[in-house]
Amino acid sequence: MLGSFGIAVTTISLLLSLSLLYLSYYDLKLSSNRISKKIYKFSFLQILLTFLSFITLIMAYVISDFSLINVYENSHTTKPLFYKISGTWGNHEGSLLLWINILVLFSFLFLILDENKNKNFRLYTLIFQNILISTFLIFLLTNSNPFSLLYPVPTEGMGLNPILQDPALAIHPPLLYVGFVGSSIYFSIALAALITKVDSKSLATTIKPWVSVSWSFQTLGILVGSIWAYYELGWGGFWFWDPVENSSLMPWFLMTALLHSVLVLERRIGLYSWVIILSILTFTMSVVGTFLVRSGILNSVHTFANDPSRGLFILSFLALMVFSSIYIFFKYAPNENKNYKIFSKESFILLNNWFMIFFLAVVLIGTLYPVFLDTLTGQKISVGPPYYNFILAPFLLPLLFLMTSGPKHKWISPEKIGIFNIVLFIAVILFIIIFILIKESSILLLLILLFSTYLITQTIFDFFEKLKNKSINLSRIISHFGFGMLIFSISLNQIFSIEESFNAKVGDERSFKNYTIKFNNLETFSKNNFKSAKGYFEITDNKNSTSQNLTPEIRVYNKPETITYEASINTRLFSDSYLTMSNISSTDVFNIKFQKKPFMNFIWFSVLLISLGGILQFTRFRKKI
């Protein structure tokens, strides 16, 4: 029943998208300055029915309707209700339906919120957006239908991968998809702006809030995914350059560059074509990330939907989208000749953009190189943190400097504010104090600490200046402060982290550095859908004469049959104690991994501040209009 209804509703949604394409194209020929009411009505019906299709799938999960293949393969009657609902988008078909819902949502919001914009500009945006919507709906119905029926109907489902049954991962995909898919609207806006020759000011004011929203959600999505991987996968870190992690980071670099470039365009100083290119590239890179994750060519702990046919469809769509965008760009792009003063604000923003492009290129090469090497030679390699740290870390220094000094310069004019030197002096004094306290020998880490301290100090001064001068951009201050704190915290985390791995039986004791770990007990028990072996450990800090108890687990799930290693984390303000254990087959010996991870809370909080800056940027813009 639900499956047939879902197919019918999704099919009507496709027909509505095709109708909107026709109505928008027809409305372009009319002399009226207002968009036809039919388009508004069809657009409202489109979002209503698309949302209804998603709600239908959620209901199928809630009532465990195993007549749907999708529900059968990804759910189970004993699964808690929260994870039944989140399981809706914890698979390829359901996540694709969520993807389409976000495409439709942004299309509808653009139509009703940007009513004061040029009619043809809005219609072309709607046309490009609905081309995307129609394409993905066709893909859904022909290749990845979440409402496909199963007969005979089984009495029980296969269950969802246990590592996906987690609150953080339940909200991670929706957050990330708003960022990923949200970039589609400024992809459509950019192409429409080229064709209708929209001026730079109008393009900037139209595109800015959408970039701010998608960038903020992308940042939050990356944060939540990192927190999940930290405590669920037993990695013990905030970022491991996993290929799927990289696929979410690459569009973020472009969004960051675009967010800054729009500031230049808003003042009619230039970068019109560059903003168009970045808008096209951002959504393109989002589709590239989708292709890498869903084609099965990446080896990752959280890759799913390893289906080459799906990858081929996305790759074909990606190629068509890229070549069409290139054609439209070269046909309609205006000529621009702008000369920037070396020490003007727009020059610093342009340099910032090139750093973002460089970071993107490094991550893209590191992600794709193993794929190409495997394809050409059959040799399998993995590119991990050493590669990224070696190449990217030195370039953080000029980036931090640009983020600190750039905002203190004026638009067009090379003049700068005098407080610049005072802040640098204070930052150096603070750095000397930190240097004396930490006694670090790595010159690169020390320089990163110095420049991040410089950025933090400058943004604190900027905040107090904001209290006097209301015109100063608070969103920029908060985001830059968050980024400075992020780099500062990561550096200290790198310096002070402790890691020890050893084998032990119950009753064993191990001492290293200032710590003693005793394996006190092992307890086994059963829950509804898994069996658990829980270890009881006492960790003593001999230097401070304090102790703490940690209880890592090994869980064996039966639906589907999976073994997971649950970390036990004792979180304090300035550091985390992190313990995992894994079984050594057919023995009573366990591998124990202990980590001391300082400043983790500061890392998470820093990313929240960065995202908050984007949200404030959006609200600041909406107040203006």
Q: What's the average model confidence in pLDDT over 240-254? A: 90
pLDDT of residue 32: 83
Q: What's the average model confidence in pLDDT over 376-403? A: 87
pLDDT of residue 283: 94
Give Dmax over CA atoms of the chain in angstroms: 85
pLDDT of residue 127: 96
pTM of the entire predicted model: 0.91
**Which structure tokens are listed for 524?**
């086994």
* 119 or 408: which leads in pLDDT: 119
pLDDT of residue 459: 92
In this predicted structure, the answer to whether residue 303 has a pLDDT above a threshold of 60 is: no
Contact 274, 354 (CB under 8 A): no
pLDDT of residue 559: 67
In this predicted structure, the answer to whether residue 590 has a pLDDT above a threshold of 60 is: yes
Q: What's the average model confidence in pLDDT over 570-577? A: 92
Q: For residue 91, count CB atoms less than 10 angstroms from its CB and return exposed for 0-12, middle for 13-18, buried for 19 or more.
A: buried
pLDDT of residue 621: 58
Contact 279, 184 (CB under 8 A): no
For the chain, percent of residues with pLDDT exceeding 70: 93
CA distances from 364 to 242, 261, 295, 299, 385 (A): 12, 22, 16, 15, 14
**CA count, 13 A, side-chain hemisphere, 431:** 22
Average pLDDT, the chain: 87
Q: pLDDT band at residue 586, thresholds of 50, 70 and 90?
A: confident
In this predicted structure, the answer to whether residue 298 has a pLDDT above a threshold of 70 is: no
Q: pLDDT band at residue 441, thresholds of 50, 70 and 90?
A: confident
pLDDT of residue 418: 52
pLDDT of residue 484: 95
Q: Summarize pLDDT for 460-482 with one digit per residue, the tens.
A: 988 888 777 776 778 889 999 99
**Which structure tokens are listed for 316?**
């074909």
Contact 404, 388 (CB under 8 A): no
pLDDT of residue 339: 66
pLDDT of residue 307: 62
Instruction: State phi, psi for 496 to the nearest 5 degrees.
Output: -100, 0
pLDDT of residue 417: 53
Q: What's the average model confidence in pLDDT over 133-140? A: 94
In this predicted structure, the answer to whether residue 415 has a pLDDT above a threshold of 80 is: no
In this predicted structure, the answer to whether residue 5 has a pLDDT above a threshold of 90 is: yes
Nearest to 454 by CA among 477, 486, 479, 420: 420
Q: Summarize pLDDT for 190-215 with one digit per residue, the tens.
A: 999 999 999 888 999 999 999 999 99
Q: Summarize pLDDT for 75-115 with one digit per residue, the tens.
A: 888 788 888 888 898 888 999 999 999 999 999 999 998 88
pLDDT of residue 314: 81
In this predicted structure, the answer to whether residue 280 has a pLDDT above a threshold of 80 is: yes
d(CA 358, CA 352): 10
pLDDT of residue 100: 95
SS (H, E, C) 129-179: HHHHHHHHHHHHHHHCCCCCECCCCCCCCCCCCHHHCCHHHHHHHHHHHHH
Instruction: State phi, psi for 366 to the nearest 5 degrees.
Output: -65, -30
Q: What's the average model confidence in pLDDT over 41-45? A: 96
Q: pLDDT band at residue 620, thresholds of 50, 70 and 90?
A: low
